[in-house]
Chain A
């Protein structure tokens, strides 16, 4: 079993890196981009019996800083 954790900045938290990426895209001629938000994906290989609730605890305690970030969990595979 694997889990994919997506961590993104919360709405309203400014993302200077995303903004820099948006600028760079504009420089390359991609004028159609109105906003860029950059986050991260964390893949976990889980031992049998590790539940989504466990992964939620991992997110709350370490993987995301819930002051500025939100997360979502995708359980993948059998």
Chain B
């Protein structure tokens, strides 16, 4: 079971994300953004949080057009698993792998706090370790986490069970309180909260550990 974690200039959660995968039992290979091909034998790709390319133009916009992201899009289109967290979620929306876009928080403030989430769907490799409706606490830290989607898209995502997580109390103005979204085949997940910051006792809570554990479990069973 091997995970690849991308690193862009300005990524700052890449090592935390790698640690999240490792604690769940995965081998991890770091992948630099200028690579044009992914390492062989990857089971999942993680796109970490941070401020890739200084958030220039739009958050995640430049990273989404980097050489490695072309390979990530191919990987996902071929049925590969990809998780993007925070800036990684912004990158996934910019590539078009996930619908919608992330805009400046409604309150304009950078929000950094422990956030209560509701597990809206346990039907994905990332969320099968949770119970639907469970409330978990995962840190958030972002300025541009306001998920923008029109009413039709929100209804469609909800109808298809593609809202993985929602905010118990909306911190950023996201449409439909959406905190995390799945692709149609449920193998691509983008989320603003940081599960990799809630995987060890020293983090204060381990509510994020089940995400990595269920993902690795599903892959090992496959």
Name A residues whose Cβ lies closer than 8 Å to a Cβ of B: 12-14, 16-17, 20, 61-63, 65, 67-68
Contacts and interface: CB of A to CB of B under 8 A. Distances in A.
A4 to B, nearest CB: 16
10 contacts: A13-B148, A16-B108, A20-B108, A62-B65, A65-B94, A65-B101, A67-B99, A67-B101, A68-B101, A68-B103
Interface centre among A13, A16, A63, A65 (most CB of B within 10 A): A65
B42 interface: no
A67 B148 CA distance: 9
Given A62-B57, A68-B101, A17 B93 contact: no
Summarize B's interface: helix, strand, loop or mixed. loop
A14 B99 CA distance: 17
Given A67-B99, A68-B103, 13 more contacts: A12-B150, A14-B173, A16-B104, A16-B107, A16-B146, A61-B65, A62-B61, A62-B65, A65-B61, A67-B93, A67-B101, A67-B148, A68-B148
B100 interface: yes
Interface residues of B, number: 19
Given A17-B104, A20-B108, A63 B57 contact: yes
Interface in B100-152: 100-101, 103-108, 146, 148, 150
Interface in B57-76: 57-58, 61, 65
